[in-house]
Amino acid sequence: MKRIAIIGAGPAGLAAAYQLSKNVDNEVHVFESTNAPGGMCKSIRLWDTTVDIGPHRFFSYDTRVNNLWLEVVGKDYKMVNRLTRIFYRNRFFFYPIQAFDALRKVGLLTAAQCLFSYLKQKISPVEQDGSFETWVTSRFGTKLYEMFFKTYSEKLWGVKCTELDSDFAAQRIKKLSLSEVVLGALKVKKNEHKTLVDKFAYPLEGTGMVYRRMADFVESRSGKLYYDAPVRKVVVEKGKVTGLVLEKNDEVIHFDEVISTMPFTDLLSRMSDLPENIRQLLKTLVYRNTVMVYLKVENSNLFEDNWLYVHSSDLQMGRVTNFRNWIPELYGDRTHTILALEYWCYDEDEFWSLTDEEYIRLAEKEIRKAELVGNSPITAGYVYKIHRSYPTYHRGYKDNLKPLEDYVDGICGLQCIGRYGAFKYNNQDHSLLMGMLAAENINNKAGHNLWDVNTDYDSYQESSLITETGLERKP
């Protein structure tokens, strides 16, 4: 019997636990610092309505991930028609950008400036310096970059786009460019950019349903889940994992293997005898925090988007989710709408220390200013804070991260996965795949390099999509 500890019951950790629990030779123990499974993908009940911790759209072309999702969810899902737009200067622009929609709405003069700056880039491209700014500018031109990328990105990351690494754009925007969008609109070229998918599968009881079911399966196979059980440190002796220590006591619990989804910086900084160069490199890695402010609005028909990206510089909020526009099962016969407004900050920012009442007052003020709820009464508010929700891609971060990855690879029996654990801006499907591959490394000694997930993620063994009727293979 192999004793395996998994730190964290989010998508990555539970995907690993789920797969490992299928093997009777594994004794699986999952340690979760909060009181419920799901991590950032949990669902909560508010005002007799189910909501997620922000918008969680599950989508993948990877057949392995889709099969796992369907195995857990079964037929308990519906397809959601996706509508996500950019809110800029009190106007709605399609996201991803649709060239004619954007140019029509900004006015003739601004449209001409956008096209001129784009053509200028084609003739004399900006020199690439590894920043988000030069990466996006080269593909859209300076004017469109400033309108539709700069403000939102600086809200999210809290740093200038000149200091944000181009890797963020490469992961999130990939090869989309203005010419690709125009050709797609003209039907000259079929646009298959990943973010343009207009439907996605969504569980009937919210995203958290997936991870509650995974947790139940693990326990049904004699696995153990420990809630409110934060891990203090992983114990390493002579280059091999031997166990871990919980926050609540000093006892070492012995394990043969550890899969960690706890923040990468915490995992390493708490190890004994850490080399000084590794400790210094850890200081360069920074996480961003999220503050979710939920508002109960007494109106069932506000705006039609699943969520909005708020690019207006006079508003602090960065994204607004409308849970009324997902599936009816979330709200039943309730007539109100729950909106979730997202704000981002760092630990040292004064914003992180505001009271719940101050957050709610700010959210009410901004949603009114944006004119997104009209005169509808706002009758309640709720605050949910997420510490270290995003790894920040400062320019050149990969040069500092690589030696840390190599150091972890030198520890036998330790694998780091997930958004927190691998310091990667994962989507849900990336984290699920990481968990699956980590389990294969233990079960089959597969030798998967987990750091590669969400690096070149368009290379699929087999492509498919989840549709209303199940899995549809792509040629």
Q: What pLDDT does residue 462 have?
A: 67
* Category of 207 on φ-ψ map: left (φ > 0), alpha (ψ -120 to 50) or beta: alpha
**Biggest alpha carbon distance in the chain?**
70
What pLDDT tens digit does each residue of the chain (475 aa) get?
Answer: 999 999 999 999 999 999 999 999 999 999 999 999 999 999 999 999 999 999 999 999 899 999 999 999 999 999 999 999 999 988 898 877 776 777 788 888 888 898 899 899 989 999 999 999 999 999 889 998 998 899 999 999 999 999 999 988 877 776 555 555 554 544 444 444 444 458 999 999 999 999 999 999 999 999 999 999 999 999 999 999 999 999 999 999 999 999 999 999 999 999 999 999 999 999 999 999 999 999 999 999 999 999 999 999 999 999 999 999 999 999 999 999 999 999 999 999 999 999 999 999 999 999 999 999 999 999 999 999 999 999 999 999 999 999 999 999 999 999 999 999 999 999 999 999 999 999 999 999 999 999 999 775 455 456 888 999 999 987 6
Same domain, 115 and 166: yes
- Which residue, 125, 159, 191, sits at the end of a domain? 191
3-state percent breakdown (helix, strand, coil) of the chain, nearest 5: 35, 25, 35
Whose tokens are 């007539």? That residue is 335
Residues 159 and 236 in one domain: no
pLDDT at 193: 44
378-391 and 287-297: which strand pairing?
A: antiparallel
Q: Using the 8-state DSSP alphabet, how is residue 116 labeled?
A: H
Which pLDDT value is given to residue 175?
53
pLDDT of residue 344: 98
Q: Same structural domain for residues 134 and 66?
A: no
In a domain, 234, yes or no: yes
In a domain, 323, yes or no: no
* Shared domain check, 399 and 274: yes
Are residues 179 and 213 part of one domain? no
Question: Does 83 fall in a domain?
Answer: no
pLDDT at residue number 186: 45
Q: Are residues 181 and 101 in the same domain?
A: yes
pTM of the model: 0.93
123 lies in which domain range?
A: 97-191
Q: Which two tokens stand for residue 274?
A: 């850490």
Domain boundary among 162, 191, 220: 191
Q: Are 212 and 186 members of one domain? A: no
- Tell me which H or E stretch contains 428: helix 428-443
If one counts the domains in the chain, the total is 2
185 and 129 housed in the same domain? yes
Whether residues 176 and 258 share a domain: the answer is no
Is 7 a domain residue?
yes
**Cβ neighbours of residue 409 under 8 Å, at least 6 residues apart?**
none
Question: Residue 288 falls within a domain, yes or no?
Answer: no
What CATH number did the domain enclosing 7 receive?
3.50.50.60
Q: Residue 232: inside a domain, yes or no? A: yes
From 163, 191, 219, the end of a domain falls on 191
Give exposure, 85-107, as e/b (b: 16+ Cβ within 10 Å): bbbbeeebbbbbbbbeebbeebe
| 104 and 158 co-located in one domain | yes
Question: Would 462 be classed as within a structural domain?
Answer: no
- Residue 370, in any domain of the structure: no
Is residue 415 located within the same domain as residue 274? Answer: yes
Same domain, yes or no: 177 and 118: yes
